[in-house]
């Protein structure tokens, strides 16, 4: 699949549920209202949709959410999709908050998953509880260690929050170095109404990078995962440090992805509202021709890029939907 700007679309991110067992301050309001369960695609429907994308050239699938591992019977979908590895699909991965990893790490490896991203914004237990509202750090760390023991390659994702975790990254770099994890820092994106003021949360990573450069020997790395992160090597730990900077650097030129929600809506860009309904063609007939045509039509509408700006006067989100809908 090639979009109007010549970019090959080979990566599908699937939000398998909008529900979550945490309420991270930058992601959701505490009293977040979730979709009625009847709106969700079944696991079989999600599987059929993913296969349609694999047939059209998707090589990498990432399951996300909400929290993907809180969806009931999620291993059924992961096992089925894992069976496609080698048949067009090259990689099946997951982004998780880690709360259920102790339970699922071995099953994930069995299913063919090799790498996962785990979101941890701080290693300070109290701060972690404050950021995630409902999360407990020891449970997440148990999960991460289970993943490591099972042989999964782990990348830690941390959202940089001004005045909250900006002093924690040195400690996180050390911890990641000890365990052989890469670390990726992310700027907050203005998506969906949350209870906090976004302009107060926003911390430009250019600043963080300059600060970290005083303590660590960072050199530009040519490492690329096909994603928007720019990587640096950390000489002292031998690990990589990634920066995802949607706000200070336009990461759209090399965008290779589209995003599917748990209701079958396809978003061609994280930062734009235009979307395609794939649930109707999916449910219309057992034959995949209509679905394939809808996917082709959607890719032809993929926009050039997002236009996130931090609206300092109004502190309004750039797009109304929450990250938990499109999965980040």
Residue from 1, 9, 12, 24 touching ligand SF4 (CB under 6 A): that is 24
Residue from 67, 84, 168, 182 touching ligand SAM (CB under 6 A): that is 67
- Judged by beta carbon, residue 97 or residue 201, the one nearer ligand SF4 is 97
Residue from 7, 23, 198, 259 touching ligand SF4 (CB under 6 A): that is 23
Cβ within 8 Å of residue 150, ≥6 positions away: 105, 106, 108, 109
Which one of ligand SF4, ligand SAM, none interacts with residue 272, CB within 5 to 8 A by kind?
A: none
Verify binding: residue 251, ligand SF4, rule CB under 6 A.
no
Contact window for ligand SF4 (CB under 6 A) among 49-57, 62-70, 150-158, 297-305: 62-70
Number of residues that bind ligand SF4 (CB under 6 A): 13
Cβ within 8 Å of residue 321, ≥6 positions away: 191, 192, 273
Give the shortest CB-83-to-ligand SF4 separation in angstroms.
27
Residues 176 to 235 in contact with ligand SAM, rule: CB under 6 A: 186, 188-189, 191
CA distances from 324 to 87, 139, 183 (A): 29, 21, 21
Residues 101 to 130 in contact with ligand SF4, rule: CB under 6 A: 119
Give the shortest CB-65-to-ligand SF4 separation in angstroms.
6
Residue from 201, 239, 272, 324 touching ligand SF4 (CB under 6 A): that is 324
Residue from 93, 97, 122, 272 touching ligand SAM (CB under 6 A): that is 97
Give the shortest CB-235-to-ligand SAM separation in angstroms.
26
Partners of residue 95 on adjacent β-strands: 117
Number of residues that bind ligand SAM (CB under 6 A): 20
**In contact, 202 and 188? CB cutoff 8 Å:** yes
Verify binding: residue 140, ligand SF4, rule CB under 6 A.
no
- Judged by beta carbon, residue 188 or residue 239, the one nearer ligand SAM is 188
Which one of ligand SAM, ligand SF4, none interacts with residue 28, CB within 5 to 8 A by kind?
A: ligand SF4
CA distances from 52 to 2, 84, 262, 268 (A): 16, 12, 15, 16
Whether the CA torsion 232, 171, 125, 153 is positive or negative: it is positive
Which one of ligand SF4, ligand SAM, none interacts with residue 23, CB within 5 to 8 A by kind?
A: ligand SF4
Cβ within 8 Å of residue 244, ≥6 positions away: 184, 185, 186, 187, 205, 227, 228, 229, 251
- Judged by beta carbon, residue 3 or residue 67, the one nearer ligand SAM is 67
* β-bridge pairing 240-244 and 182-187: parallel
Verify binding: residue 327, ligand SAM, rule CB under 6 A.
yes
Verify binding: residue 157, ligand SAM, rule CB under 6 A.
yes
**In contact, 108 and 152? CB cutoff 8 Å:** yes
- Judged by beta carbon, residue 66 or residue 228, the one nearer ligand SF4 is 66
**In contact, 93 and 62? CB cutoff 8 Å:** yes
What does the binding site for ligand SF4 look like in residue numbers (CB under 6 A)?
A: 20, 22-24, 27-28, 65-67, 97, 119, 132, 324
């Amino acid at each position: 699949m090639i979009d109007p700007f010549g970019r090959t679309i080979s990566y599908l991110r699937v939000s398998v549920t909008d529900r979550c067992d945490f309420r991270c301050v930058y992601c959701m309001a505490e009293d977040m209202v979730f979709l009625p369960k009847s709106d969700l695609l079944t696991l079989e429907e999600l599987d059929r949709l993913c296969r349609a994308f694999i047939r059209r050239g998707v090589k990498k699938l990432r399951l996300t959410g909400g929290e993907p591992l809180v969806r009931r019977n999620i291993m059924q979908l992961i096992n089925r999709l894992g069976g496609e590895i080698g048949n067009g699909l090259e990689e099946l991965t997951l982004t998780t908050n880690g709360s259920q990893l102790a339970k699922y790490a071995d099953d994930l490896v069995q299913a063919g998953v090799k790498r996962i991203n785990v979101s941890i914004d701080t290693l300070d237990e109290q701060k972690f509880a404050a950021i995630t509202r409902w999360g407990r750090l020891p449970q997440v760390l148990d999960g991460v260690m289970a993943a490591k023991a099972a042989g999964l390659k782990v990348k830690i994702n941390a959202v940089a929050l001004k005045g909250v975790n900006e002093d924690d990254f040195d400690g996180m770099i050390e911890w990641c170095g000890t365990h052989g994890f890469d670390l990726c820092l992310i700027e907050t994106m203005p998506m969906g109404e949350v209870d906090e003021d976004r302009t107060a949360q926003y911390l430009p990573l250019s600043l963080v990078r300059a600060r970290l450069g005083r303590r660590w020997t960072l050199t530009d790395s040519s490492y690329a995962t096909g994603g928007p992160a720019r990587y640096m090597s950390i000489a002292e730990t031998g690990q990589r440090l990634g920066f995802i900077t949607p706000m200070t650097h336009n990461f759209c030129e090399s965008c290779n992805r589209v995003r599917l929600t748990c209701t079958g809506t396809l978003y061609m860009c994280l930062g734009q509202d235009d979307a395609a309904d794939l649930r109707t063609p999916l449910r219309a007939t057992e034959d995949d021709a209509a679905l394939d045509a809808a996917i082709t039509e959607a890719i032809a509408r993929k926009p050039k890029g997002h236009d996130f700006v931090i609206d300092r006067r109004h502190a309004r989100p750039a797009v109304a939907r929450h990250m938990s809908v499109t999965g980040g």
